[in-house]
Every structure is written in C-alpha cells, then in structure tokens.
Amino acid sequence: MKHFNKLWVLTFLMFATSFLSAQTKQLKLDELITNRKLYPSMLNNLQWMDESGNYTWIVNNKLVKGNIKTETKDTILGIEAINQGLKAITEKEVKKFPAINWINKTNFTFSSSSKLFNFDIAKKQVSELNKYPEKAENTDIEPNTYNIAYTIDNNLYISYRGTEITVTDDKDKGIVNGQSVHRNEFGIKKGTFWSPKGNLLAYYRMDETMVTDYPLVDIEPRVAELKSIKYPMAGMKSHHVTVGVFDPITQKTIFLKTGEPAEQYLTNISWSPDEKSIYIAVLNRDQNHLKINKYNATNGEFISTLFEEKNDKYVEPENGLFFLKSDPNEFLWLSERDGYNHLYLYNTDGKLIKQLTKGNWMVKDVEGFDAKGNKVFISATKETPLDNDIYVVDIKSSEIKLVTTIKGTHSPIIDKNGNYIIDIFSNTEIARKTMVINAEGKAIQTIMEDKNPLKEYNLGETQMLTIKAKDGTDLYCRLIKPSDFDATKKYPVIIYVYGGPHAQLVTNSWLGGANLFFNFLAQQGYVVFTMDNRGSANRGFAFESAIHRNCGTLEVADQMEGVAYLKSLSYVDSSRLGVDGWSYGGFMTISMKLKNPGVFKVATAGGPVIDWKWYEVMYGERYMDTPEQNPEGYKNASLLNYVDKLEGKLLIIQGGIDNTVVPQHSSSFLRKCIDLGKQVDYFIYPTHEHNVSGIDRTHLFRKIYEYYKQNL
C-alpha cells in the first residue's frame, strides 16, 4: 500500500437523501445519445447584448433578453419577425431561430442560405450584408466590414461587398490555401486571419505535394473508390507552409519571407493593432527551438526576432500575442518556460518587461480584458488542478485576485468593459449553473440553474480520490460504484483510460468529468475507474512531458498503481478487471494488457496507436522524436513486440476511414496476432473517421457493453 496512500478522498453522493425515494429510473443505452433531458440545460447563443448590462439567448425560437438589474426576462422577438423580414426582401425563410451576433443594441447579424444579414430591431427589417457560394467552406466573417473569406476545394476567395474575388487559383491538388495547417497542432484551428480593421487578409498556403499519399477506401459508391489523403508519418517528409497577405483593394498578394528550412512550423499568427506587422511563432521541425518573428505586412520582409525559447524536450506554442489596449506596443505571451504555463509581458522590441504570473499552477487561457486594458482575466488552476477558476490580474502591479468563489469548472463570458461576467459552471454537486457576477466576484443574479437532471435515476456513488505514483506524485482518480452497491459483495472493474497529453479526465465538474455511459456501466454492476496519469494535461510541463521519448512506459506504470489500489479494495474482484480507451487511450489499453499479462481479463481499444512510426509528424515527433533519433523508444512503444503476451479477450474497434490513427495500425496488429496464433476480436465502423459520432455512437456503446457483459 506504500504507493497508493490516499492524500484525500472526496466522496459525494450524486443525489441528496431527499431524492432517494424518487431514484427508480434506469439509464438506457438508446437514450444516452438521443435524450437531451439527461444532460444539463444550457442557454443557446448566450451573449452580452450591449454595455448596459443586457444579455440575450435563444429559446423556443425566440430571442430573450435579461438585464443585470432585474429578474425580468423579456422576449425581444420571435422567429416570425425574422421570417417576415426575410420574406420582405424575397429571401428564404428559416426553420429555426438562427444564431446571432450583436452589432449594437438595435442591430444584430445572422447567416442563412449562404448569406449574411442584418436585422434592425427598431424597424423590424432585414437587409443583406454579404453572400457566399453554397459550396463555400472555412468561412471567416470580418466583423467590421462583413467581408467574408472562404475556400472552395483548395483555393481561397473573398466576398468583398458582395463581389467574389479570387485570392488563389492553384490547379495542383497538393496546394492548399486558406485552411488549417500542421494537422491542427499548435493551437491552429483555421487558415485565414483578418487584420484588426479588416483591410488585409493573411492566410496559410500549404504545399503538400512532397507528402506521401495514404490510401483510404470510400465504400459509398457503387464500386468502392480510393480516397487518398496526405499523411506525413514520423520521420518522413512533411508539408511546406508559407503565409500570404492579400489586399482586397489592390487584389495583390505578398508572401512573408519566413525563410528556410521549408520544413518548419509557422504557428499562432498575430496582427499588430496598426496592421503594419505580422508576428509568427516559428518552430523548428525538432520542436525544441521557438522564435517569435516579426514581419512587414506590406512587403513581407523579416524585421526581427523578438525572443526565442528552447527546451531539450519540446516547446509547444498554442496562443498568439495578446496586445494591450492600454499600450499597443506591449503584449502578453503564454509560455511554459518556467515549468508551468504563465503570462509574460513583452514590448514589441522583444524586451521582457516582467513575468506577470508565477507559481506551481497553470494559466489555461486568456479570457478578456477590462475597458482600459489594465487588467486581464484568465482561467487557471491556482487553487487545484481539478478546478478551472477565473482570476483577474492587474498588469501593472501583478496582483492576482480570484473572481469565481464557488469551486468547480468555470467558463466565462466577459462583457466589453470587463465589469461583468456571465459565469457558466458546474461541479460535482451542480450540473450547470449560469449566473452574472461582477469583476470582484460578487454574485449579481442567477440566470439559470440545473442542479440535477438525473434526480429520478438510480445512479451509483462517485468518489474523487488521490493516490501516489511511485515517485510520490499525486495522481487524481474517479471511481463510480454500482447503483446497488453492497460492500460485502465483489464487483468487476472497468478502467477507462486516455493517459496522453492535452487531456484531463478527472475534474471538479458534473459527474466528476465522467460521461453517462460510465454511469450506465456502473448501473449494470461494474465499478468504473479513471486516473489521470503522468503525461496528461494541466499539471505542468514536467508532469506532461514525463513520457517524452518513452510513450507507454511511465503512463502504464502509473495506471498499474491504480490497479494496485483497486485490488486493495475488499469489494473489487481482482480476477475480473477490464480496461477501455480510445486513440491514445486505445494505445494505453493494449499497452496495459500486453505489458501486464494475466491482470486484465478483457480489454476494448478504439482507434489505437500500435506503432508510433505510423503516426503523424507533428504530434508523434513532439513526444517521441523521429524513429531514426529514438529507435529504442519506438521499439519499446511498439505494441507489435508484445503480441506474444496476449491473454484473455481483446476487442479492437476501428473507424474505416480514420485519417488520424490510420487503419494500418490495427491491421498490422491483426497480422501479428495471426502470425503468432493469437485470437483477437475486431470491429470496423466503415464510414467513420477517428471516432464514432452521431446516432451510430449508440451502436458503439452497445458493442462495448455487450463485450464486457459476455466476457467479464
């Protein structure tokens, strides 16, 4: 018991005693996806309306307004008014109230039928602002001019005051413009970037002609067709990216002179407030040397490197520059350089003015500023890694104050002046609560509270607990007991695992971060256990990077400490342990089973990485380097080398057109099983990519549940 002494155990009953008599309903698999009433209520399209404390949301096809000074909620207008306005200009009516964005207190914009409209509340009139083709993708609406950037196939266009302008006209399918690059790593979510006033458009141009084609098969046509994708595997050639700047007036493009080598990562594009410069976080392919470079937006010339960051393991930029309203020559930068993600204040000459936040906790995001730009609101883990709290930091004094005083996981919507916050949060006792607080954290009013949408259901007890890794590190866990739990009985256990970077499964949020499928399994008589091992997110650089060059080693060791804890419980049947996971969790599932033969009777792995040499360049090389640089690490991580240890039941589930963990992984594992005479079960979801979504997810849940029911 030496390595799993509990530091603390927070046990909470999912429902108050007064509800026990009403807890008779059972969760049904078919309802986990389709029954919205099982999930916490939410306010659709909730946002601040203006600077007078008004906020709005959409419910029952009506736009409803609230105000911080009154509990009264007023209906501004219904869908009928929208349709009357559209009909008046001979436009197609909408079937449900569209998502809106406020321009001012009397006008808002909305999109419908590939057009952008303005609605004037006072006049009850709809007017067209702009339009784009029906087949347009990656639409990016500029909020000042309402010009719209979009892509069709691999080329970029702008609808400029209603007229289509061709920005690129590349014929080669290997050239991709205006789309996300570097496989969405480094915080990259899109490929176009309007300048602050909307006068210029920066965009990514990606040349992937040198990248290997990877074959995927589309079974939808009468005769199946080959649909090849570009998939750069670890150690192989990657795509080349450049950044263009387009001027809609001159209709000319210049490219930033980002230089060599071509195989580098151009991340986190940021415009200067005056539109004269563009800043790029340039990362080398080894991902251990970052430069913040400044370029002239007019001629593309390189101006200077503001500063650099180096780390023997890796540097991972995920945010651009946050320029200050109070001084456009100063900005905030998020970095893990001291071991935790913190804010640093720089000027545009690259001088570090000061480190703004510090400590053994993580700044997770910059949420907004006050009116003058003297204070910044952040979400962070200062109190505990299990919470996501909101703080306000005085940029001049570095004083930090906790704004959200109720423990839990908070998501803020901050008004333009930084005076008020719509705080949407949950914790283990409250499913979702939406309230208004001021910048000091004082509660102003509750907009909506859904304390427990499952109060009529007979769910088990959930425990949040901490155990120790072998080196003494705290590892946070969640344990769900069967709803008819009897401490004198023995129960089988299903361990759900992810275990990789960028994910945290155990949080102080509704159900402890668990999903309803886990609670369904507990209802069927299983103990369901989850741990965030070293290598997972929000615990600092050392914690997350501990797996560097050795994926599948330390994480498995930590998970086995969890297994040792489970075996110490009198009510656990240690002969009936199962493990389940997807993606990195699938890799972990098979790793745990093969590296600990005889421990896990059953395992189910979805979209598992089998050998990291078949995984993509950006993610794979960050954590494992290349196969040439780290042959021993790749050998130790390859699950093909442990197939001879396979005992018991194993089900592998694979998306038939998985473009993230390509089918070669699971197919190669099957081939090795055949070679060694090992039996394994396999199921493909033919038309799904890396995960199973939509209504088919019910089928997935049933597949997993039935497998455990039959074999565990």
Q: Which residues are catalytic?
A: 583, 658, 690
Tokens at residue 199, please?
């006068």
Task: Classify residue 21 as exposed, middle or buried by CB count within 10 Å of its CB (0-12, 13-18, 19+).
Answer: exposed
Give the 3-state secondary structure of residue 423: strand
563 phi and psi, to 5 degrees? -65, -40
CA-CA-CA-CA torsion sign (623, 626, 632, 634)? positive
> Between vectors from CA 628 to CA 626 and to CA 634, what angle results, nearest 5°?
65
Rounded distance between C-alpha atoms, residue 475 and residue 493, angstroms: 19
Distances (CA, A) of 337 to 347, 412, 544, 669: 18, 27, 14, 39
User: In 3D, which of 380, 428, 423 has the Cα closest to residue 401?
Assistant: 380
* E strands in 178-329: 192-194, 201-207, 213-214, 217-218, 225-226, 229-230, 240-247, 252-255, 264-271, 277-284, 289-296, 302-310, 322-323
Compute, in degrees rounded to 10, the torsion defined by CA atoms 519, 520, 526, 529.
-30
**C-beta of residue 216 within 8 angstroms of C-beta of residue 229:** yes
Rounded distance between C-alpha atoms, residue 9 and residue 66, angstroms: 40
- Alpha helix stretches (DSSP H) within 21-124: 31-34, 79-88
Can you give the length of the chain in residues? Answer: 712
**C-beta of residue 215 within 8 angstroms of C-beta of residue 258:** no
What single DSSP character describes residue 25?
Answer: B
**C-beta of residue 119 within 8 angstroms of C-beta of residue 126:** yes
Distances (CA, A) of 630 to 312, 573, 635: 14, 40, 9
505 phi and psi, to 5 degrees? -95, -25
Rounded distance between C-alpha atoms, residue 113 and residue 231, angstroms: 34
Q: Which residues contact 706 (CB under 8 A, 6 or more apart)?
A: none
Rounded distance between C-alpha atoms, residue 34 and residue 15, angstroms: 23
User: In 3D, which of 350, 314, 315 has the Cα closest to residue 331?
Assistant: 350
Tokens at residue 17, please?
């005693």
Rounded distance between C-alpha atoms, residue 32 and residue 30, angstroms: 6
Give the 3-state secondary structure of residue 706: helix
**C-beta of residue 478 within 8 angstroms of C-beta of residue 498:** no
Distances (CA, A) of 573 to 489, 507, 544, 589: 9, 27, 32, 19
